[in-house]
Amino acid sequence: MDVDALMKQFEDFLDEAHRLKALYAKQITLLVGIETEYISDVDLEGLTSLLERVGKRVEYLVGSIHHVRTVPIDFDLPTYGKALELFVPEAPSNTDRHEPFFLEYFDAQYTLLQRFKPEIIGHFDLCRLYTPQIRLSDYPLVWQKIIRNIQYAVGYGALFEINAAAFRKQWKTAYPGEEVLEAILSEGGRFALSDDSHGPHAVGLNYHRAYEYLKGLGVTQIWYLERSDTPNQGDRFVQAVKMEGDWSDHAFWKRRK
């Protein structure tokens, strides 16, 4: 597909999404959003132009990083390895390429947050997808950037995605992992649920495991987005709203096994 065909496909998606939004307005509230890419700076310019073109038809953004130095980091393990090979440890005696890799990932994330202020921060620590055993706090410079990004996102009101897709990718937790989730909590961050479904088969998949994960780490609030008459920090008309009542007893969980 060439660029024109891809744009036509995207505009057809927006048309269909808003048709369904109107058709089912009395039964369910739908918001139409898009997830970001940042392969190179061209993507940032492209997203700026796209958002100007579609206006209010895109109601919210999920801010995600899927590439480091233009290489996909969530496609498969060999491709992840190719991304790591692009980095050279600073000390000649050090063979660990992860530190410079992580530093670049979280710098790219920070650039994305600053430029677009996405309402949802997508899979915050996807950079560990194939190495979930790594503790990011073992890299002090990396951890500083993580805290910087969390504080910035909290400052403009973003929600952090609790992404259940990590379970089907053989993680024992959702994204973000425990130490990052605890850091977000300590900085006053708020969480929204996500199944990261790429089709109907994955809608709500592993939400019961996400429930257990959140309860185990002492998360007491779940948030979501709804329409607003007032623009937010990203100049879009949605706001974060806390789920009322005791979310841990909500019947919602019982339907998602």
Q: pLDDT 10s digit of each residue in the chain, 257 long?
A: 898 999 999 999 999 999 999 999 999 999 999 999 999 999 999 999 999 999 999 999 999 999 999 999 999 999 999 999 999 876 665 668 999 999 999 999 999 999 999 999 999 999 999 999 999 999 999 999 999 999 999 999 999 999 999 999 999 999 999 999 999 999 999 999 999 998 899 898 899 999 999 999 999 899 999 999 999 999 999 999 999 877 666 666 655 55
Report d(CA 110, CA 108) in Å as an integer.
Answer: 5
Residue 65: name the closest of 112, 33, 99 by CA.
112
- State how far the Cα of 221 lies from the Cα of 189, in Å rounded to an integer: 10
Whole-prediction pTM: 0.93
Q: What is the spatial distance between Cα 192 and Cα 221, in angstroms, rounded to a whole number?
A: 9
Q: What is the torsion angle, in degrees rounded to the nearest 10, for the CA atoms of residue 155, residue 38, residue 206 and residue 202?
A: 130
Q: Are 149 and 95 in contact (CB under 8 A)?
A: no
